């Protein structure tokens, strides 16, 4: 028989409940920190969609980013418990922005039809649309497309977060991190999007690439700072007094600062792409990619100097893609080769 204290509570039961609560919190923290992988399809030699989903499961990769609807991939994801970011591709934005029925049709075909078996986490409306980077023809459609997709999802009785993915090139100031701010040239584009995200409790997806910053500034950025291998503070932000041992944190915190200055202090960040290529560029080796990605998986469990807590992150990419344009390192971001062989050892456990 349990012995009760004078308060009427059983200490054994109370201790058990505390233990269970602690285990639940640890599980939730691990779930929040689970790093996903982007599934790009710009290759003519890639495995079937079912084989890809099976590979995700065998590697304990619990989250996927898919850049556009692919019916075979969505069917393969059914019942897998893999959480999905599904993209609305840039070339579909104008039609969806211009017609609520087009938005509804897109949601019915690509989301509602699979919603009973596929775990949709976010709908990413557009990828890296910017007034500055050469795809400015889409700028006027992103927000309205987000609104129409959001309305269509709500009308279907679903609760799936709608957002968009941006590049760090939208920042006019990124150093030091506390002074991060969006360029004045993009404020008329990004500010209403931030307002939408804030009003709907949605995060901003951001593609964050220390590799490119390192590649473009090898004289001032050390490889260890880019690869998470610095053992001491490399950069101290004179305004916040926060210390930075790696470039990834500095870039993410610059985005947090920019969001705050744009009225989005409540808007979180999901790192929707990051990674390190294995060939074709500067310091592009399998060893460096292994170092970056394995360190990343562990590092994002604890957040950044500015924001503690798990930072949801997606590695780019699952496979090398032999049909990506741009040359150089563009074809060599894969964790796996097209034959499903790991290019280096990596652990998602």
Token pair listed for 206: 């951001």
| Separation between Cα atoms, residue 3 and residue 6, nearest integer Å | 10
Question: Which listed residue (128, 167, 312, 329) is catalytic?
Answer: 128
| Separation between Cα atoms, residue 70 and residue 40, nearest integer Å | 11
Residue 328: what are its φ and ψ, rounded to 5°?
Answer: 60, -130
Which of 191, 144, 142, 196 is closest to 170 using CA atoms? 191
| Separation between Cα atoms, residue 180 and residue 257, nearest integer Å | 5
Question: Which listed residue (51, 83, 167, 273) is catalytic?
Answer: 273
| Separation between Cα atoms, residue 163 and residue 155, nearest integer Å | 17
| Separation between Cα atoms, residue 332 and residue 317, nearest integer Å | 9
Strand partners, 303: 308
Active site includes 128? yes
- Cβ–Cβ < 8 Å for 215, 281: yes
Question: Around 143, how many Cα atoms within 13 Å sit in the side-chain half-sphere?
Answer: 13
Active site includes 321? no
Residues labelled catalytic: 128, 273
């Amino acid at each position: 028989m349990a012995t009760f204290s004078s308060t009427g509570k059983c200490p054994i039961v109370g201790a058990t409940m505390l233990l269970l609560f602690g285990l639940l919190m640890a599980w939730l923290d691990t779930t929040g920190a689970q790093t996903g992988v982007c599934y790009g399809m710009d290759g003519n030699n890639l495995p079937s969609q079912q084989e890809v989903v099976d590979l995700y499961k065998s590697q304990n990769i619990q989250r996927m980013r898919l850049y556009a609807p692919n019916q075979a991939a969505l069917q393969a994801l059914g019942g897998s418990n893999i959480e999905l970011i599904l993209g609305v591709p840039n070339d579909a934005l104008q039609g969806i922005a211009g017609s609520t029925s087009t938005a509804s049709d897109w949601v019915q075909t690509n989301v509602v039809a699979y919603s009973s078996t596929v775990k949709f986490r976010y709908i990413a409306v557009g990828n890296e649309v910017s007034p500055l980077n050469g795809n400015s023809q889409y700028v006027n459609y992103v927000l309205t497309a987000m609104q129409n997709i959001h309305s269509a999802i709500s009308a279907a009785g679903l609760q799936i977060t709608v957002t968009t993915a941006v590049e760090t090139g939208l920042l006019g100031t990124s150093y030091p991190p506390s002074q991060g701010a969006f360029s004045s040239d993009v404020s008329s584009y990004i500010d209403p999007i931030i307002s939408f995200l804030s009003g709907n409790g949605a995060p901003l997806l951001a593609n964050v690439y220390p590799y490119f910053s390192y590649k473009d500034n090898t004289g001032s950025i050390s490889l260890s700072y880019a690869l998470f291998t610095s053992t001491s503070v490399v950069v101290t932000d004179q305004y916040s007094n926060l210390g930075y041992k790696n470039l990834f944190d500095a870039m993410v915190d610059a985005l947090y600062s920019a969001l705050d200055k744009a009225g989005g202090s409540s808007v979180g960040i999901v790192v929707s792409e990051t990674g390190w290529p294995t060939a074709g560029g500067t310091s592009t080796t399998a060893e460096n990619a292994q170092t970056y990605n394995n360190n990343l998986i562990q590092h994002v469990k604890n957040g950044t100097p500015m924001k503690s807590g798990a930072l949801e992150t997606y590695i780019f990419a699952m496979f090398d893609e032999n049909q990506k344009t741009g040359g150089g390192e563009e074809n060599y971001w894969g964790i796996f080769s097209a034959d499903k062989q790991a290019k280096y050892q990596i652990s998602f456990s």
